[in-house]
Every structure is written in structure tokens, then in C-alpha cells.
Structure 1
């Protein structure tokens, strides 16, 4: 396949899969239940944090999370008392448990109180051509309060070799425009050109088959390689190809 043929093929798949009908099987449906900006951000951040494993289980557990937060995540974060954290203590999704969730809520309150919210951190620390250093800085700020060591594994650090799939996915949701009713386009001061593809087993395998990716491990170096090649196809919105790569892998077993 020539570069032009590859672009035409992937553009057609983006058109097919970048569509709201796929939200019913995607964790992105969780923030679409809200209209208040901060509710969208917080529900999206929490849903993306637990977005690994079986997709049905992710959606079910993210829905339980919203139940526990009275379907008002921003109000819950900003107004919670110690006894409110107690009711979160029984939550579990794989290795993410109630202890982790309690810290996440506490840290989010600190972020919205003292750091201009989630958008404020990522906007402040973005770099001219990448969001990966901002993700690393976000992790540093996120864990500036006293916390258990175990909880730190639930926020990835690209500068320590991680592909940071879940935070890159969260950033895609917040930054890419909402013209198709899929992503939100809430954060206007970050360009989609800086985003990185959420690299998971599906996007990685399809990327390798299409020769967009040679590296076998799905780590930060692989993400950088995939980014370079996707930006050759569309330098202004490279992460739109996440839909194509993921769709080809999940729905077409490409």
C-alpha cells in the first residue's frame, strides 16, 4: 500500500468509526451523560483511569462510580466529607480499589482548588509539539498530597517509558472537536496536533500490520514512532486515526 492509499484507507475507516453509534460500547459514553464542563472532565478522567480490561466491565464500574458520586462528580469532589469517602471504600475495578478512589477524589479537589482544574494543568504544561511532558507534570502534581505508594501506578508517566494510553485517551476526549458528537472539544487552548494516539493492544497490532509501527513493545518509544507516522498522514489531527486503528482491531479483527 502506498502512503496515499494508506491515507485513503484509514480516512475511510475514521469516517466509519468516528460516530456516536459506537459510544454504547465505549467508556466515552460516561462523560456524555453530563453537560456541566467540570462534570464531563471529572467523569471522563475517572472513566479513562479504569479503562482497561473488558469494556462491558469498564462501563458497568464507571457507572457505579457515578452512582457513588450521586451523578454530580464535581459537586461530590468539591464538597465531600470524610464519611463520603467511606462509601467509596468498597469500590473495585481490577487493581483499582476504594483506597485509590478516595485519593483520586481528594487530589481532584486539590487540583480544582489550587491548580485551575484539570484543564489548567495540561494547558499550562503543554509543549509546542507534544502533551507527553505535561502528562508527566500532571502526575507529579496529582500526587503532591500524602498518598499510598500503590495508588501511583494508576497514573502513567511517559517520561518513565509508559505509552500512557489512558491519559492520552482522556486528552483526546477533551481536546478533539465535537463536530461528530464523539469527542468533546472542551479544551480550546490545546491543539489536536499535539495529541498522541492511545496505544493499546488493538491500535498497536493494527499499526504494526500497516507498517505504521515497527517496535514490538507498546511503550513510550513505540508511541513516539506511531505519532510520527500518523502526523505524516494528518499533521493537524493525527489522533483521529485512533478510531480507524481501534475499529479495525476490535470490530474487524484486522
Structure 2
């Protein structure tokens, strides 16, 4: 069974529901992980998404901020939704994909953005981001996590770790999302399993790759000052089962777009 999994920071699922419909119709994901849904659970548009074939839905949301959701054509079972930094924010949701053979646990994360000033003493939002990444690493390192079997971790991790994940490594070193301390923290999270960055398995690390372009750009495509903030990782036993990756750059040019674009993984679950 080749399963198509997509991740997308939608920046308000109700506001951009037409874009979700457009994406699902064009790319036919079996599982769609959304971040920054900005929607409490009771107002999530279950019915309209079920009409697209995404009949299985799990949400973890709040009014106006944050929020994550997993929509699926295959049955899913909710596993957990963790408040890793005790902030009360809805930033994590895990489900088990009930595929016929391999049934990995899928973790969907929305890591704090961190504000504009890369100084944890001067900027509480940046301190929160670093604390969250540290808590995420500790949580994933727990021995009981190994008992979950194969896992996939995806979402808007709000860090562009490689030099080729930003438009200018030199100019971005002091910009939140690519500072050395953030990269170190995300690397520690990745090494907690260790996790495989399967996007870079198919798109070489030497190649520039972005999934986010600022709303501030007058012409985002012409300037192309992007960052790769959206990631898909797998536990090592799933690496060889990954079959392909696609970053849907054109979605940044759709009407009333999110500033992020979908990232798609095709994976063989037997």
C-alpha cells in the first residue's frame, strides 16, 4: 500500500478551506496533517472535509491560535495530544495510521515561531521556542517511545536547519528560524530517535529548498527569499519504504494563500 501523506501549515483552516479543497482534489493525499488551524475542535469543518474523502479526522485546536489536525482516508486512532511546555497551547497531535500492514504512529507538531528577536533574555517568545524544542527532545527520548514501533514526525517545526534551507545562510544567521542555537536544538530533537529527514533523502542537501515565503515580499516568486520550515521525518525502519517527495511551491501563488506550502511524502506501508 503506497500511502500519500501531506503536511501543511494552513494558517486558518476555515479561512482557507477552499485551498484545502483545491489541494486535495489536485494531489489526492491519503493523510493530511494541518498546523495553525486556528479553530476550536467544535467548529472544525468535519462535514466539508468528509465530502472530499477525508472521513477520519482528529483535531487538537483552540480559538484563534495554533492548532493541529490530522485528516485521513484510512482509519486513524488518536494516540495522544501533548502539551510539552505546559503553555496550554495546542501544538501536538499523534494518531496511529491503521493501514493493512504497517501501522506507524504519526506525530503532527507546530513548534512556536519565536518572534523576531533571537535573544531568549529579551524575547519571551524566543525563550518559549527554545524551551519547547528542549521539551520535545526530552519527551521523544523517553524509553517508552521506542515501544510505539515505527513513527513519522511531521509539521511546521519553524527551523530551517541547513544552509540550503534558507535563501542566504550568511544573512540569516541572526534571523529567527536559522540561528545556530535553534539549529542546534532541532538537531538534538532529530538525534533523539534518531530521525531520518526523508525530504532531504530525495532532494539533495546541496539543493536549495523552501516551504515558506513571507507575506512581506512584494513578489515572493521573483525575490524567492524562502525558508524550509516544514519537515517530514521517519524513524529509521521506515526510511527505505519512502518512495518520493514533492513540495507544492505553486500553492504559494494560489488565491489568498498560506505563507507555507504543502509537502508530500509517498510511503509504502505494505
What TM-score do the two structures reach when normalised by structure 2?
0.28
What TM-score do the two structures reach when normalised by structure 1?
0.30
Task: Determine which structure has the larger strand proportion and give its number.
Answer: 2
Task: Determine which structure has the larger helix proportion and give its number.
Answer: 1
